[in-house]
Structure 1
Amino acid sequence: MTLGAKPAIGYAFPEALLAPVKAISGYRRLWVALSGGLDSTLLLHLAALCHSGVRAVHINHQLQANAGDTEVFCQELCAGLGIPLTVQPVSVKLGAGPGEGLEEAARKARYSVFETLLEPDDVLLMAHHGDDQAETVLFRMFRGSGVAGLAGMPEARPLGQGRLARPLLGVERSELELHARQAGLSWVDDPSNTDQKFDRNFIRISILPALKKRWPGLNQRLRHSAGACSESDFLNKRLAELQWQSLGGHKRRLPVAGLGALTLAEQKNLLRWWVRRAGYDAPSISDWSQVLGDLLQAAEDRTPELRADNYSLRRFQGELYLVPEAADLPQESVTLQPGQSAQWGEWTIRLIPSSTAKADAPPIRICTRQGGERLRFHAGGQSKSLKKWLQEQAVPPWERLRLPLIFRGVEPEEELIAIGDLWCSEQYCGKAPAAGLQLIVERDCD
């Protein structure tokens, strides 16, 4: 198509096309994701007709030979409509995830920009339409997705600090093209859209037309199926939430006995929901019965573990733990000065001086367990093995290795004064600590 499109002036778009765009409300800033293609170009015009203060964002993936021309087109289009445009180039990295191709890598790159861009109460409009939804449902079906995937793309969902909305999801692509041509719009065709080595292109070009010829109204049929799957997914999530609450409702722990009382289907559903609720991708497992058997039914002296990309599921003393991937710890001990703070993995440690702080206060040192440490709860009291105390407190083994131990003084006379946020010497806690220094130890994650 010809570059340098002019605004659609004087064309009366039908109310059925304008209505879902007009219905967008409750935003502080309204953005349109502008690729330069037919769909997003038309959506930009519709948004400009229905709302004031519209903004646009163009992601330049730098993958096509015409990427520069497309960026210029978007700039000229927005200038003609008086719409501010944000252009963001991205570098698409292949192989970032298992089995991830160019399509998925590019998608992740642009959504990362969108998440960073959106501020609270911002709304980003995307031009996905009915054919895109049909393509998505078929694509996910061919990949073996469950009801959550087969529910297709939602009309709206949270994104970053804002929201994503798809007002054209119920409109056929042929209808969008009809009105775009009648309005005299121009756009830029992405040459990669005809390359059938990409799965979605193959579905769109070779599969969907044949299915539509055999079953007229296919998109509507698939929307109906997607809606039914969406309802099933909602009920699955609601069941998981109710069962999670009945088991204690902890973000990072589930009792093994409670899980074991559920059916296999309920266990799988609850674990998927629990992991996603914590902000992680649910594990894709071909044999859940084997994995759950290992996690829930292994002998008490065993410590089974399921590793995922950035977390793991572990069992300890009758509970299943969701353990985030741990940040690296300092390789050497850290000296903490009064008035300063230190980061120790997921821990933040601060030393706050009071008016009674002494200039020659003993040094404060942070390190991890080396073996043989002992603690004394009261001055002159009996000391106790740290290893035994941690076992008594039911601290999981993987956490014992990361706990910041805080000492005062100089070896070999130094004294243990705090163990993570589990215990702190009375000399260094409270609003008026006897040592004149208040020690605050906080864990950054639940």
Structure 2
Amino acid sequence: MIFKKKTQFILHKFQKILVAYSGGLDSTVLLYNLVKLRKIYPYIKLRAIHVNHNLNFYSNQWSKMCFLQCQKWNIPFICKNIILNKKQGNIEEKARLERYKIFNDFIENNEIIVTAHHLDDHYETILLFLKRGSGLKGLSGISQINIINKLRLFRPLLDISRKELLHYAINNNLHWVEDQSNLNNKYDRNFLRNVILPQIHNRWPFFKKSVLKTSSICREQEELITELLNSVMKRLIQSNNSLFFIPLYKFSIVKRNSIIRKWIEFNQCQMPSKKILSIIWKNIVCSKSDYKSYLKIGIYQIRKYNFHLFCIKNFFTLKNKVYYWSNISLPFILPNNLGKLFILNKYKKNTLQIRKPKNKEKVYIKFFVTGEYFFLNNMKKKTKIHDIWKKLNIPIWERYNIPLLFYNNLFIAELKNNIVTLEGNDNKEKIFIFWNKKNIN
């Protein structure tokens, strides 16, 4: 078995393993060894997941090969097809993000994702982060155990070189997919692997060992910084994962940047450069506006509200959208994957009691109504909706996606915080509305 003893010891503790299986050399060796491990520990539940990116002419053929191999080794096989826009952005990064979304969709409780990253991947990643101007975190390279978007990841081949994997595969008569795109040097990793590194190793045979040693030192220093900042981070990071930034004004620039970087890492957003950190401080934290200033980092946005920094996923705004609820006896499926609205005949926890619509009243769901005045709970005077949002401490980006219930043009309720208008509430017949916010996909 190719796994080191320590790695094998860790692996056998996991009773449910989902293998990211591309069909290439690395993942084939990984899957083969996990099959051997399953023979030793029969309680291990092993599954394989293959993502067909449809970026190659032979993509469908590779998917079929993966299926047949899993069938041969008696492994449940999952295949998911995706279509990526080759013309927009970094295709490698987009493919990686899509893969992890899919992993998240198919992962079971107490199951771990196992990937085939090896020592050469670790080495190349360090150099690519160096190219980007990354700090200690980036120069630490790939972690063997990691959590990405609540997914637990383990990389059992991280201390094994590709050369070792190739020899092992040949000696065990394994068959794998050869992706010709690995020879395309327009991709940074391929250019580094095929053009730059052979010349470096020819000149400095010790270079790889030195880089890995430096990476180990960077990892230790990063762990030390985390330990030293731990007590401060616990005070500043709130229960909603926001960062209270007022104390940062008193800190040095170095300490301030380290805290913001650690907070961004805590929110599982990609690590920012020094320039990005400067923009966050000057253009967001020090901005007079809580609404207009924000920064996109990958699939996330950095925003501020009420002296707190927020790291939120990019969202599709429903501002000024209006939807007609034609039959309130049936559930209303909200747009943007926000869940469903139900009308109930009796009270249930977290339901809102409102009057039943009159015969001539149509029911509408509206989003982010601006410039209007409404009653807030039992207030006797109408209040501007902007002031209602502010009073309830609701950030601007959340306001876009909170459903507002109307009968004709009469505001009845804001469903998140149970704001109910007093107008027209003299109807004695009541109904109960329930918002099921669970993802409906």
TM-score (norm 2): 0.74
Q: Percent identity?
A: 24
* Aligned twin of 2:16: 29
Residue of structure 2 aligned with 1:46, choices 22, 33, 38 = 33
Of 183, 187, 193 in structure 1, the residue corresponding to residue 172 of structure 2 is 183
- What is the SS of the residue equivalent to 1:305? coil
Q: Which residue of 1 aligns with 2:190?
A: 201
Distance 1:440 1:427, change over 3 A: farther
What's the counterpart of residue 369 of structure 1? 369
Contact map agreement 1:96 1:105 (CA 8 A) in 2: no
- Deviation of 1:425 (Å): 5.0
CA 1:139–1:436: 2 relative to 1, 3 Å: same
Alignment partner of 1:94 out of 78, 86, 89? 86
- The alpha carbon displacement at 1:439 in A equals 5.0
- For 2:23 and 2:335, the matched residues in 1 are separated by 47
Cα distance in structure 2, aligned partners of 1:159 and 1:376: 40
Note if 1:383 corresponds to 2:370: no
**Structure 1: gaps of 5 or more residues:** 1-12
Deviation at 1:72, TM superposition (A): 5.1
1:24 to partner: Cα distance: 0.4
Deviation at 1:397, TM superposition (A): 5.8
Partner of 1:6: none
Question: Residue in 1 aligned with 2:247?
Answer: 258
Q: How far apart are the structure 2 equivalents of 1:64 and 1:263?
A: 50
**Does the Cα contact within 8 Å between 1:374 and 1:384 map onto a contact in 2?**
yes
The DSSP-based 3-state class of the residue aligned with 1:128 is coil
Instruction: Choose from 92, 114, 117 the match for 2:103.
Output: 114
Query: Partners of 1:384 and 1:215 in 2: how far apart?
Result: 76
Q: Distance in 2 between matches of 1:258 and 1:274?
A: 14
**Alpha-carbon distance change, 252 to 444 in structure 1, aligned in 2, over 3 angstroms:** farther
Greater CA deviation, 190-199 or 232-241? Answer: 232-241
Q: Match for residue 4 of structure 1?
A: none
| Alpha-carbon spacing, 1:154–1:352, altered in 2? closer, same or farther (3 Å) | same
For 1:397 and 1:19, the matched residues in 2 are separated by 49
Q: Does 1:353 align with 2:345?
A: yes
Q: Structure 1 236/75 Cα, relative in aligned 2: closer, same or farther at 3 Å?
A: same
Higher-Rg structure is: 1
Paired amino acid for 2:183: T
Any conservation in 1 of the 2:50–2:78 contact (CA below 8 Å)?
A: yes
Q: How does 1:397-408 map to 2 (within 5 A)?
A: 404-406=403-405
Secondary structure at the residue paired with 2:294? strand
Sort the Cα spacing of 1:240 and 1:439 in 2 relative to 1 into closer, same or farther, 3 A: farther
SS of alignment partner, residue 47 of structure 1: helix
Which position in structure 2 is the counterpart of 1:158? 147
Q: Please list the CA deviations of residues 210-265 of structure 1 after superposition, one character each: whole Å capped at 9, or x if unmatched.
A: 44445445444333322333333344455565334323624364444223222223
After TM superposition, give the deviation of residue 140 of structure 1 in Å: 1.9
Q: Alignment length, in residue pairs?
A: 418
Secondary structure at 1:164's aligned position in 2?
Answer: strand
SS at match of 2:152: strand
Match of 2:322 in 1: 332
CA contact under 8 A between 2:236 and 2:245: conserved in structure 1? no
Is 1:437 the counterpart of 2:437? The answer is: no
Which amino acid is the alignment partner of residue 375 of structure 1?
F
Q: Deviations over 1:287-335 (max 9, x none)?
A: 6435513433445x78651231555444455444556535425622655
Q: Is the 8 A contact 1:31 1:122 kept in 2?
A: yes
Distance across 1 between alignment mates of 2:401 and 2:141: 42
- Deviation of 1:129 after TM superposition, in Å, equals 2.0
What is the alpha-carbon distance in structure 2 between the residues aligned to residue 131 and residue 35 of structure 1?
17
What is the identity, as a one-letter code, of the residue corresponding to 1:176? L
Task: Kindly indicate whether residue 265 of structure 2 is the aligned counterpart of residue 271 of structure 1.
Answer: no
Q: Do residues 306 (structure 1) and 304 (structure 2) align?
A: no
Map 1:398-437 to 2 at 5 A: 404-406=403-405, 414=410, 418-422=413-417, 424-425=419-420, 436-437=430-431
Q: Distance in 1 between matches of 2:170 and 2:421?
A: 77
Q: Judge conservation of contact 1:134–1:223 (CA < 8 Å) in 2.
A: yes
- 3-state SS of the aligned residue for 1:56? strand
Other-structure match for 2:42: none
266, 270, 284: which is aligned to 1:295? 284
- What's the C-alpha RMSD, in Å, of the aligned pairs? 4.3
Q: Residues 96 and 289 from structure 1, CA distance in 2 versus in 1: closer, same or farther, beyond 3 angstroms?
A: same
Counterparts of 2:433 and 2:335, CA distance in 1 = 14
Task: From the superposition, tell whether residues 357 and 21 of structure 1 become closer, same or farther in structure 2 (CA, over 3 Å).
Answer: closer
Q: Which amino acid aligns with 2:147?
A: P
Q: Relative to structure 1, is the Cα distance of residues 334 and 179 closer, same or farther in structure 2, using a 3 angstrom cutoff?
A: closer
Following the alignment from structure 1 to structure 2, what is the Cα–Cα distance between the partners of residues 160 and 253?
16
Distance 1:39 1:68 in 2: 19
Q: Does 1:149 align with 2:138?
A: yes
Cα distance in structure 2, aligned partners of 1:298 and 1:360? 45
Question: Contact between 1:90 and 1:110, CA under 8 Å: does it hold in 2?
Answer: no
- Classify 1:443/1:264 alpha carbon distance in 2 versus 1 (closer, same or farther; 3 Å): farther
TM-score by structure 1 length? 0.73
**Segment of structure 1 superposing worse, 334-343 or 51-60:** 334-343
- Name the counterpart of 1:174: 163
Q: Once structures 1 and 2 are overlaid, which stretch shifts more, 121-130 or 393-402?
A: 393-402
